[in-house]
A and B are shown apart, each in its own frame.
Chain A
Amino acid sequence: DTEVTQTPKHLVMGMTNKKSLKCEQHMGHRAMYWYKQKAKKPPELMFVYSYEKLSINESVPSRFSPECPNSSLLNLHLHALQPEDSALYLCASSQAAVAGGAGELFFGEGSRLTVL
């Protein structure tokens, strides 16, 4: 199984809603990532979890709250978002760097978020 699975594929929410994006992988990877991608732009790193601990937070607003319940799951909790937060949110995983290897990222198909 070389897949990273993201749900939901599409999400429309109002600015007062609370919703969550979910990501799952069963490759035994110990690093998991959230990226945000706007149209015609490269992915921008938001958060990195390494061994289920938050290791990188790229100055993301607190209305985005990540959670890593276990080594296979990664959530992104959304609250009080703004219309400019509309984007494709990509989850990725990789072998942790300390395990060696190329550390290539495996991406999910993304969750397309629209904030009204």
Chain B
Amino acid sequence: GEDVEQSLFLSVREGDSSVINCTYTDSSSTYLYWYKQEPGAGLQLLTYIFSNMDMKQDQRLTVLLNKKDKHLSLRIADTQTGDSAIYFCAERYNNNDMRFGAGTRLTVKP
């Protein structure tokens, strides 16, 4: 099957910006999402972007979408230790199906 691809690990220093990248599969996907999962917890929706947009900003989070290359990124400004978690990229590719990437483990060092 087709995969949503993400790099598995990212390590940054506290206060730096983090950029997590994702390549999705279906050019007809209508919405793309970023979820955060802390250890032992469920997935928390961080933000989403509609496919006809190329950027969305929400406080410290900036999502960039390059529809031509099917590339999605999540930038976290002023990264804090509380941002350490696994970040999943996901695409909605039909009415009720969502395809997740493998997740990027973000480690923030003090």
Contacts and interface: CB of A to CB of B under 8 A. Distances in A.
Interface of A: 4, 6, 31, 33, 40-43, 45, 48, 50, 55-56, 90, 92, 94, 97-98, 102-110, 112
A104 B31 contact: yes
Interface of B: 31, 33, 35, 40-45, 48, 50, 88, 92, 95-98, 100-103
A107 B100 CA distance: 14
Contacts of A109: 41-42
A19 B6 CA distance: 36
Given A48-B97, A98-B95, A109-B42, 8 more contacts: A4-B42, A40-B103, A42-B102, A42-B103, A90-B42, A102-B31, A104-B33, A108-B42
A102 B42 contact: no
Contacts of A6: 42
Contacts of A42: 88, 100-103
Given A42-B101, A55-B96, A102 B44 contact: no
Nearest 10 Cβ contacts at the A-B interface: A42-B100, A97-B95, A107-B42, A107-B43, A109-B42, A110-B42, A48-B96, A102-B31, A102-B48, A108-B42
Nearest to A108: B42
A56 B88 contact: no
